[in-house]
């Protein structure tokens, strides 16, 4: 089939085009429809596939036959339209109130519209400035890694002070099941008195209690949605035994040897340094790309991502995520329940990710247009070669016949734009782990100062009248 496509300039994120299909292809489509019907149905008095047209028209109706031929013809034409225009539509091609094919012997002309991604501009087309960690391991990074390793050997010990429980404490308690909470019952149970760790009702009841106090707590949790929505009530008795704090062992040569198998602290630090630097060889290039894309995405001039395009990205992200879970034999409900995430919160977060990815994609599109980047046939072939496909030429032809090559073209141009941005970005090397540790120390110092120095109050007036 050879079609002619005449398109107008995109307007309101839509492309309008006039498609002309030659009479020869129209005739072939009508002939094929008659043959398909003749082979699909039994017509009395005729062998399958040999019923003449008047018989078929008498039973099926000529209008229905031409309507089917029209649908088949346009379905075949759709990939060609996309290839002619070299675009990826948002959703399907809209043929509108398409006329059915008429008698054979004449061209078929139809007006089509396609929703497309908006063509946006950027606030600047200069390569961005970003911060990056150094390629070598810093002392702060080594310290943080060793701190993480030591945390695996940490233990909770009773605090040496007489006070009530505050939110954020860790306590030891005997827990008795009063109803529906067998999984929580036991002696010397460790409880993190923090919302998000345990139900809010548990935190609210235990805050202010002292070792030796006994508290009864009841709460209700919901599970499932719609017809599957159920509520479970739990009730426990908590006998507070002690308030604890986390004690991390000090790193010594003995600890380095006993816990980690290294002769001394220096040997351990050198091993951690090597591990961090090996990891950075793989992680830093990806991190640089991520930060460049984030930076250029923030310069996109667009008030709101079109809902249809954002939903398309949302569906892609959801499919990717569900496929990963399926590969691990994990259901979405299992994943959400294990992490205490509500379904609505998960969906909301996925929508936020979809909007961010959409903005970044549109920003790379804008940069590719500004740089005049194109996707050559060699580029396309290289993409299929890199994917490990055996018969590259055959697969390219399959994608061409399905109208999917424009998506490869877009991907190649975005990759070229990203490569240019990465190569030309201004990079400032920053020891981010050291900065984060310094900020945490400052925050902790400010909190201690707030506790040590309560706000001054006016002295009571003790003057007798």
Q: pLDDT (tens digit, 9 = 90+) per residue, 389-439? A: 889 999 999 999 999 999 999 999 999 999 999 999 999 999 999 999 888
Terminal-residue alpha carbon distance, the chain: 107
**What pLDDT, on a 0 to 100 scale, did the predictor assign at position 383?**
94
Q: Which residue has the tokens 């088949």?
A: 72
Whether the Cβ atoms of residue 126 and residue 371 lie closer than 8 Å to each other: no
Q: Are 319 and 371 members of one domain? A: yes
Q: 408 with 377: CB under 8 angstroms?
A: no
Handedness of CA 52, 58, 63, 68 (dihedral sign): negative
pLDDT value of residue 399: 95
d(CA 171, CA 269): 34
Q: Could you give the CA distance from residue 401 to residue 410 in angstroms, rounded to a whole number?
A: 17
Locus of tokens 């003749």: 38
* Residues 264 and 370 reside in one and the same domain: yes
263 shares a domain with 241: no
Mean pLDDT of 357-374: 97
Q: Are 13 and 77 part of one and the same domain?
A: yes
What is the C-alpha to C-alpha distance for residues 209 and 169, in angstroms, rounded to an integer?
11
Same domain? 310 vs 419: yes
Beta bridge partners of 17: 7, 112
Question: What range defines the domain where residue 220 resides?
Answer: 155-247
For residues 130-143, average pLDDT: 96
The rounded mean pLDDT for the chain is 90
- Alpha-carbon distance of 349 to 336, in angstroms, equals 13
Domain end position, chosen among 64, 87, 115? 115
Q: Give 448 or 371, the one with higher predicted confidence.
A: 371
367 & 424 share domain = yes
Contact 368, 413 (CB under 8 A): yes
* Shared-domain flag, residues 101 and 159: no
Domain boundary (96, 115, 134) is at: 115
Per-residue pLDDT at 216: 95
pLDDT of residue 150: 93
Q: What values do phi and psi take at 271, rounded to 5?
A: -65, -40
Same domain for 261 and 377, yes or no, is yes
How many CB atoms are located within 10 Å of the residue 374 CB? Answer: 11
- For the chain, the domain total comes to 3
Residue 136: inside a domain, yes or no? no
**Is 224 part of a structural domain of the chain?**
yes
263 and 375 assigned to the same domain: yes
Q: Considering the domain boundaries, does residue 90 fall inside one?
A: yes
pLDDT at res. 218: 94
- Could you tell me the CATH number of the domain that includes residue 422? 1.10.3120.10
Q: What is d(CA 26, CA 33) in angstroms, rounded to the nearest whole number?
A: 11
Helix orientation angle between 343-371 and 307-327, rounded to the nearest 10 degrees? 120
Give the pLDDT score at 400: 94
Q: What was the pLDDT predicted at 460?
A: 43
pLDDT, one tens digit per residue, over 109-127 is 999 999 999 999 999 999 9
Q: How far apart are CA 313 and CA 159, in angstroms?
A: 51
d(CA 251, CA 82): 64
Q: Would you say 366 and 318 are in contact if contact means Cβ atoms under 8 Å apart? A: no
Indicate if the pLDDT at residue 451 is higher than 60.
no
Query: CA–CA separation, 360 vs 366, rounded Å?
Result: 10
Residue 462 pLDDT level (bands cut at 50, 70, 90): very low
- Return the bridge partners of 110, or none: 19
274 and 172 in a single domain? The answer is no
Q: Which residue shows structure tokens 């002696």?
A: 187
Q: pLDDT tens for residues 378-389? A: 999 999 999 998
């Amino acid at each position: 089939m050879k079609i002619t496509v005449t398109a107008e300039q995109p307007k309101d994120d839509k492309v309008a085009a006039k498609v002309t299909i030659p009479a020869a292809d129209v005739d072939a489509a009508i002939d094929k429809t008659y043959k398909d019907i003749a082979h699909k149905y039994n017509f009395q008095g005729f062998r399958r596939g040999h019923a003449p047209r008047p018989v078929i028209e008498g039973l099926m109706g000529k209008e229905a036959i031409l309507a089917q031929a029209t649908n088949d013809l346009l379905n075949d034409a759709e990939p060609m339209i996309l290839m002619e225009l070299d675009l990826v539509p948002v959703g399907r091609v809209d043929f509108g109130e398409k006329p059915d094919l008429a008698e054979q012997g004449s061209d078929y002309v139809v007006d089509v519209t396609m929703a497309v991604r908006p063509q946006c501009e950027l606030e600047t087309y200069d390569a961005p400035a970003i911060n990056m960690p150094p390629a070598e391991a810093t002392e702060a990074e080594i310290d943080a890694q060793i701190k993480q390793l030591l945390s695996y050997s940490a233990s909770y010990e009773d605090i040496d002070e007489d006070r009530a429980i505050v939110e954020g404490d860790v306590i030891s308690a005997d827990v008795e099941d009063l109803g529906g909470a067998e999984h929580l019952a036991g002696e010397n149970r460790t409880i993190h008195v923090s919302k998000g760790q345990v139900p809010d009702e548990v935190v609210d009841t235990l805050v202010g209690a002292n070792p030796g106090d006994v508290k009864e707590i009841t709460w209700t949790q919901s599970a499932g949605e719609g017809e599957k929505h159920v509520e479970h009530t739990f009730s426990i008795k908590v006998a507070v035994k002690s308030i604890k704090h986390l004690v991390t062992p000090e790193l010594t040569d003995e600890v380095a040897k006993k816990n980690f198998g290294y002769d001394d602290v220096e040997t351990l630090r050198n091993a951690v340094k090597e591990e961090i630097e090996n990891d950075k060889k793989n992680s830093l290039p990806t991190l640089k790309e991520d930060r460049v894309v984030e930076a250029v995405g923030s310069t996109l001039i667009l008030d709101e991502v079109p809902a249809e395009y954002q939903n398309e990205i949302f569906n892609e992200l959801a499919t990717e995520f569900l496929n990963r879970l399926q590969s691990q034999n994990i259901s979405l409900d299992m994943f959400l329940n294990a992490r205490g995430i509500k379904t609505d919160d998960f969906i909301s977060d996925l929508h936020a990710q979809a909007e961010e990815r959409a903005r970044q994609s549109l920003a790379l599109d804008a940069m590719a247009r500004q740089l005049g980047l194109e996707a050559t046939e060699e580029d396309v072939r290289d993409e299929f070669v890199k994917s490990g496909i055996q018969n590259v030429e055959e697969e390219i032809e399959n994608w061409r016949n399905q109208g999917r090559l424009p998506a490869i073209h877009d991907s190649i141009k975005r990759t070229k734009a990203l490569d240019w941005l990465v190569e030309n970005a201004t990079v400032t090397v920053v020891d981010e782990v050291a900065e984060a540790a310094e900020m945490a120390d400052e925050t902790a110092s400010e909190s201690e100062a707030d506790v040590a120095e309560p706000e001054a109050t006016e002295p009571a007036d003790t003057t007798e009248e």
